[in-house]
Amino acid sequence: MFYACHTASEQKDVVWFLDSGCSNHMTGDKNIFLEIDSSSNSQVRIGNGALFQAKGKGTIAIETNKGRKHIRDVLLVPNLEQNLLNVGQLVEHRYSIHFDEDSCKIYDKGGVKTRPDIMYATSLLSRFMHNPSQIHVAAAKRVLRYIQGTLDFGILYEKNVDAKLFGFCYSDWTECVDDMRSTSGYAFFLGSGVFSWASKKQETLAQSFAKAEYVSASLAAS
């Protein structure tokens, strides 16, 4: 059995322990639940073998440096002094746990792993894939190093968030030094995350910044 302590929110007294011995996620604090089913009652075991009676099951939110994460199927166990995250349950729900010296990181493998943050760079590099130079290879390696350092990046879609639809479009007028053509880009958001985006080189040469923006807006609206 092992324990790993992590401050789970901005409140210093809210701490979660990563536990390989308990039978389920559990907490004794009813106030941290986003939703709870009080009709769910069961008996649970913690790492030292002690048995407790659960008085409900629901969803909690943990604040991380990558945003808010929802943890489901958490049991409410009155008088439990610690907040416990079960290792097996995390793995079952497609989380991965990595230990490195004195730290522990939990990755959400089940989240959306598309990467709009590298969209422009990869789109630009793809123009030279049939005849790359050393400059292009070096740029591609830099993108790969960036990806290696940001493997836990993803898009978070949250429940119970005001689902407003909004979008942005832009054009970098005549930024291509080879043919002076512009690149259009857009991104649309619904609620907490982006769901549609694109970065595409314009097929015609825009004679003004206004025309380049108009072409970009047309692409976004099509």
What b/e readout covers 165-194, taking b as 16+ CB neighbours within 10 angstroms?
eeeebbbbbbeeeeeebbbbbbbebeebbb
> Among 2.40.70, 1.10.3470, 2.30.30, 2.60.40, what is the CATH number of 3-108?
2.40.70
Taking alpha carbons only, the member of 199, 202, 197, 198 closest to residue 176 is: 202
Contact 143, 125 (CB under 8 A): yes
In the chain, CATH 2.40.70 covers 3-108
What global pTM score does this model have? 0.44
Helix (H, G, I), strand (E, B) or coil at 195: strand
**Residues 92-136: tens digit of each pLDDT:** 666 777 777 677 777 765 544 467 788 778 878 877 877 889 999
Q: How does pLDDT run across 29-78, given as a tens digit for each residue? A: 888 898 898 887 888 777 677 788 888 988 888 777 666 778 888 999 98
Residue found under tokens 């008085």: 55
